[in-house]
């Protein structure tokens, strides 16, 4: 179904420049792109990408189909897509952001994201069959991978630094996060308070006590204290998990934590809704439209109009 845009564009959110002796460089910044449909809903929607990815992950799939942005626009949401600090169009600046983790390579990501059914590093991987058939899809996915912070705490602090400007732009919004973007989403929720109507965490990274080379989850679903003073979980929340991902146990532990805290909570296991064969990159796989449609229906049921 086509949609008509009233506006689209993008801008950088910035913080104070960093001074190092006589050298002045940009501070923490993020790029935000927006798409405003005609007849928009009063609530907007913010897409927060994961790990070494970028906001373009949500705009088109690696085989060229319309991405989740299109699905949310068709549903009437003004949609904002962030390149988190140091990702995508917000280039990495060591003076402001600190050091990076080692870059992920084909060996690391193909076995978990693209073709886990071949390596079978976990039992459910055998069910994976939703990566796009286009032979260039994997290369396009890898082309979008870049550096990320060398700690979860740093990633959280980076996004907290631009949160005030971000919420002035989005107004009341729904956060849809993916993977390592989930801790940033919880941090944004703690800062946004009533501005955040709901959170949908797709394949969220982390659970209480999880130990990872980039940090330990010592503060529930994040690794460090929140800069915000609002309860990040005091709103409807959904966790979305694929049938064939390695995240199933981790997502179940996160869901147990959230179920006791959110006023409305659902752990959406896609196969229980007839959506099968999905790995970790839900927005990139061949049935991405079905997944987005399920999210829209969940939001319609659980957020007051």
Could you give all domains of the chain from N- to C-terminal order, each with its CATH number? Answer: 5-302 (3.40.50.1820)
Cα 200 from chain centre: 9
Res. 1 pLDDT band, cuts 50 70 90: confident
Average pLDDT over residues 105-126: 95
Res. 104 pLDDT band, cuts 50 70 90: confident
Res. 24 pLDDT band, cuts 50 70 90: very high
Whether the CB-CB separation of 138 and 108 falls below 8 Å is answered with: no
Res. 21 pLDDT band, cuts 50 70 90: confident
Whether the CB-CB separation of 20 and 95 falls below 8 Å is answered with: yes
Asked whether the predicted pLDDT for residue 305 surpasses 70, the reply is: no
Predicted confidence at residue 290, as pLDDT, reads 98
- Say which range, 92-96, 203-207, 223-227, has the weakest mean pLDDT: 92-96
Whether the CB-CB separation of 277 and 243 falls below 8 Å is answered with: yes
Average pLDDT over residues 160-168: 98
Predicted confidence at residue 303, as pLDDT, reads 93
**116-125: pLDDT as tens digits:** 999 999 999 9
Q: What is the mean pLDDT of the chain?
A: 96
Neighbours of 83 (CB within 10 A): 24
Asked whether the predicted pLDDT for residue 14 surpasses 70, the reply is: yes
Q: Please state the φ and ψ torsions of residue 240, each to the nearest 5 degrees.
A: -115, 125
- Whole-angstrom CA distances from 206 to 44, 157, 183, 219, 280 are 26, 17, 8, 11, 14
> What percentage of the chain has pLDDT greater than the value 70?
100
Average pLDDT over residues 150-154: 97
Cα distance between residue 51 and residue 152, in whole Å: 10
Cα distance between residue 186 and residue 54, in whole Å: 18
Asked whether the predicted pLDDT for residue 304 surpasses 80, the reply is: no
Query: In 3D, which of 41, 42, 45 has the Cα closest to residue 32?
Result: 45
Q: Sort strands 196-202 and 237-241 into parallel, antiparallel or unpaired.
A: parallel
DSSP assignment of the chain, as one string? ----EEEEEEEEEE-PPEEETTEEE--SEEEEEEEEETT--SSEEEEE--TT--GGGGTB-TTS-B-HHHHHHHTT--EEEEE-TTSTTS---HHHH--BPPPP-HHHHIIIII-HHHH--SGGGGG---S-S-TTHHHHHHHT----BSSHHHHHHHHHHTHHHHHHHH-SEEEEEETTHHHHHHHHHHHHGGGEEEEEEES----TT-EETTEE--BTTBSS--SS-S-TTSS-EEEEE-SS-TTHHHHHHHHHHHHTT-SSEEEEEGGGGT--S--S-TTTSTTHHHHHHHHHHHHHHHS--
Res. 20 pLDDT band, cuts 50 70 90: confident
**36-57: pLDDT as tens digits:** 999 999 999 999 999 999 999 9
Res. 271 pLDDT band, cuts 50 70 90: very high
Average pLDDT over residues 246-258: 98
pTM of the model: 0.97
């Amino acid at each position: 179904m086509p949609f008509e845009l009233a506006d689209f564009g993008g801008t950088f959110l910035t913080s104070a420049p960093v001074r190092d002796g006589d050298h002045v460089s940009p501070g923490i910044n993020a790029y935000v792109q927006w798409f405003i449909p005609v007849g928009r809903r009063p609530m907007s929607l913010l897409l927060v990408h994961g790990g070494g990815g970028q906001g373009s992950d949500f705009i088109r799939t690696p085989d060229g189909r319309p991405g989740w942005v299109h699905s949310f626009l068709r549903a009437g949401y003004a949609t904002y897509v962030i390149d988190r600090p140091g990702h995508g169009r917000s280039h990495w600046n060591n003076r402001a952001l600190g050091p990076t983790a080692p870059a992920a390579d084909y060996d690391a990501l193909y076995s978990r994201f693209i073709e886990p059914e071949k390596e079978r590093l976990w039992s459910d991987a055998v069910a994976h069959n939703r990566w796009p058939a286009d032979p260039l899809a994997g290369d396009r996915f890898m082309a979008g991978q870049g550096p990320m912070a060398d700690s979860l705490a740093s990633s959280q602090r980076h996004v907290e630094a631009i949160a005030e400007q971000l919420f002035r732009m989005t107004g009341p919004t729904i956060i849809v996060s993916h993977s390592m973007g989930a801790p940033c989403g919880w941090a944004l929720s703690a800062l946004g308070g009533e501005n955040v109507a709901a959170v949908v965490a797709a394949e969220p990274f982390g659970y209480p006590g999880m130990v990872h080379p980039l940090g330990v989850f010592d503060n529930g679903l994040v690794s460090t204290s929140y800069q915000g003073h609002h309860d990040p979980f005091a709103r409807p929340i959904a966790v979305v998990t694929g049938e064939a991902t390695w995240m199933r146990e981790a997502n179940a532990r996160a869901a147990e934590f959230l179920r006791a805290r959110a006023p409305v909570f659902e752990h959406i296991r896609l196969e229980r809704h007839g959506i099968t064969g999905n790995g970790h990159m839900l927005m990139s796989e061949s049935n991405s439209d079905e997944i987005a449609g399920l999210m829209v229906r969940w939001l319609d049921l659980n957020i007051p109009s």
